[in-house]
Amino acid sequence: LDLRKPDAPQYGLTPYLIDEEKMAAFSKDYEKQRGESLTRNQKLEDEWYVARDDLGVLATFIKCNHPQGGKQGLVIEGDLLVPDEASEVATCTHYIVDQDNQLSLALSYPRVLLKDWSAIEGAARDALNRYKVQ
């Protein structure tokens, strides 16, 4: 998160955007250390979203790839996910930290479902608790 700054909350998550001033300084340091310029492809730089627990501890980290031309590859129509005109489906990888059970979990799903991250995480936590060995 050092090279990112928080943005306005979305869906109960805090997006972290690349801080271009810090990135410029990092790029200069990178070039000094390595003798070559840092190559960036902003289309491949993932979007980052964070949720923290009541104590401010990181509980959820989600990274998503960018939609192509505003198209996510899928749209929600009623209860269905239907393809749009994009050639690829934008996806998210959702990392959950379960401090109580000392577990971490990674889930992947289409980016169009990002708005439902909390319900997805809740279902995953419920499943873990249901099948927990005592």
Q: What is the pLDDT of residue 41?
A: 84
- Summarised one tens digit per residue, pLDDT across range 109-118 is 999 999 999 9
pLDDT digits (tens, 9 = 90+) for 13-62: 999 999 999 999 999 999 999 999 988 887 788 999 999 988 988 889 99
Residue spans of alpha helices (H) in the chain: 20-34, 117-130
Residue 99: its pLDDT value, please? 79
Reported as a single tens digit per residue, the pLDDT across 67-92 is: 888 899 999 999 999 999 888 999 99
Q: What is the pLDDT of residue 130?
A: 87
Distance of CA 48 to the CA centre of its chain: 4
Dihedral sign, CA of 77, 115, 10, 43?
Answer: negative
Amino acid 66: pLDDT: 87
Could you give the CA distance from residue 133 to residue 127 in angstroms, rounded to a whole number?
A: 12
